[in-house]
Amino acid sequence: MPKRITTETDVRIFEEIGRQAEGIGMDSLHAYVKDSISRRSLQRRLALFVAEGRLIREGKQRGVRYRPAPINGELSGVLPVLSGEAAFEAYIPISPEGKEIRNHVRQPRQLRMPVGYNQSFLEAYYPNETSYLPAELRSQLHTLGTPPDGARPAGTFARNIMNRLLIDLSWASSRLEGNTYSRLDTKRLIELGQAAEGKDALETQMILNHKAAIALLVNEVDLVDFTPYTIFSLHALLSDGLLADRSAGGRIRHRPVEIGGSVYMPIAMPQRLDELFRIILSMAQEIRDPFEQPFFVMVHLPYLQPFEDVNKRVSRLAANIPLIRRHNLCPLSFIDVPERAYIDAMLGVYEQNRIELLRDVFVWAYERSCQHYLAVRRELMPPDTFRLRYRQTLGETVKAIILQQQAPTRKAVTAAISSAVPEEDQDKFIKLVLEEFENLHEGNAIRFGVRPLEFAAWQEKIK
């Protein structure tokens, strides 16, 4: 009898394909699962998964590669059915509540109860009284996101890293919609206007739309807010050239939509959509906390589905409004957020009105963004031209004080300053020398030509 192909084998197939960012060929995939399935059987399974919309087949003949089918919230489609803990890509650490939600939305569609829009979910929220994010967590996020140089004008942090933000947020947000542009492709498109070869024109358009919308957030920081005008503007920019009905950009939808892979059925009546849309934005404006506010919008705008498409993209970019405009905090780029984790989290909101998994994703994403952009800021720090100008004199002064076995006082430094330092620069030069002594130790004294025995003798003398 032929060997039976178990569900576990299917899981292994999807797991290995999901680990390969650029897709995987037949030879490599079969080498991974050959202990449980023949090559011919694997070919039949892959053909079935492609027909079901669970995989995408790219290339021809020996160049054929397979990758997971994108899961787009606003498009009809089939959510891949997995068992156990397997996923298409790396997940994030999640809470026990988040795990419950993930397990629920991973069930086959036929096992999940169809649901419609639940207005009581919104009505149960009272701005500044209800909190989706606990106070301690909000405080931690604020500490993480505050720039090291303190209070600055609105939008300063975002403008300082504008080029990186354009690339990262455009790439990461598009990737969450199934866009296959790499970060390098995105960089070339944004900086040089070079579209990636072999990519769909709609993917290129999606990236360029993000660029335009992010520029609006950063450059028009005094105008953007949680108002219908701002959200309509973001939608118009993000959806440009991507909707079948070009007039649908920047306005409330007038037709029903479906959520691919979900049992959630959004509201269809335009008048009710418009009313709830304005209520959501009004409530968002009342929220004072700069993290509770964007998270509320990330929950309720996609849940309402006010637009024909591009709802999640609008909510992700709108989440940056309070971070950039009001508080000059680190922006949220969604860099490295796994697509499947984000989709699972949104399905939890759609089908169960539960926010815990999305909260896990939001917090992880913000921590990741902060780590990334603080590193970027350090790269962008301008060189200390004053220190460069007096580099040799600085070394000579530090060495002279050590060899004379003097304590590093302002008086000693003043006496050791050479004529190479003009009088108008001496005060700043003295401070620079004293700073060097604060950070001086036996491991770095060699920078000033000081030998270990000389440094040890100086340390012994000034004790």
List of domains in the chain = 7-68 (1.10.10), 96-380 (1.10.3290.10), 385-462 (no CATH)
- Percent residues over pLDDT 70 in the chain: 86
Supply the DSSP symbol for 3. Answer: P
Q: Which residue has the higher pLDDT, 150 or 369?
A: 369
**Angstrom distance (rounded) from CA 420 to CA 455:** 25
Mean pLDDT of 342-353: 96
Structure-token pair, residue 377: 């800021």
Provide the pLDDT for residue 206.
96
Confidence band, pLDDT 50/70/90 cuts, at residue 417: confident
Q: Which residue has the higher pLDDT, 187 or 110?
A: 187
166-182 per-position pLDDT tens digit: 888 999 999 999 999 99
Residue/partner pairs of 95-101 with CB below 8 Å, 24 or more apart: 95/356, 95/357, 95/359, 95/360, 97/354, 97/356, 97/357, 98/345, 98/356, 98/357, 98/359, 98/360, 100/356, 101/344, 101/345, 101/348, 101/352, 101/354, 101/356, 101/357
Provide the pLDDT for residue 161.
66
Mean pLDDT of 345-370: 95
Confidence band, pLDDT 50/70/90 cuts, at residue 213: very high
Confidence band, pLDDT 50/70/90 cuts, at residue 74: very low
Tell me which residue of 369, 360, 365, 353 sits closest to 299, measured CA to CA: 353
Sole residue written with tokens 């020398």: 433
- Range with the largest mean pLDDT of 209-218, 271-280, 373-382, 439-448: 271-280
Confidence band, pLDDT 50/70/90 cuts, at residue 377: low
CB neighbour class for 460 (10 Å; exposed up to 12, middle 13-18, buried from 19):
exposed
Residue 67: beta bridge partners?
56
275 pLDDT higher than 90: yes
Mean pLDDT of 306-312: 96
Confidence band, pLDDT 50/70/90 cuts, at residue 314: very high
Confidence band, pLDDT 50/70/90 cuts, at residue 154: very low
Task: Output phi, psi for 40, to 5 deg.
Answer: -65, -40
Sole residue written with tokens 């001086």: 440
Contact 348, 182 (CB under 8 A): no
Confidence band, pLDDT 50/70/90 cuts, at residue 9: confident
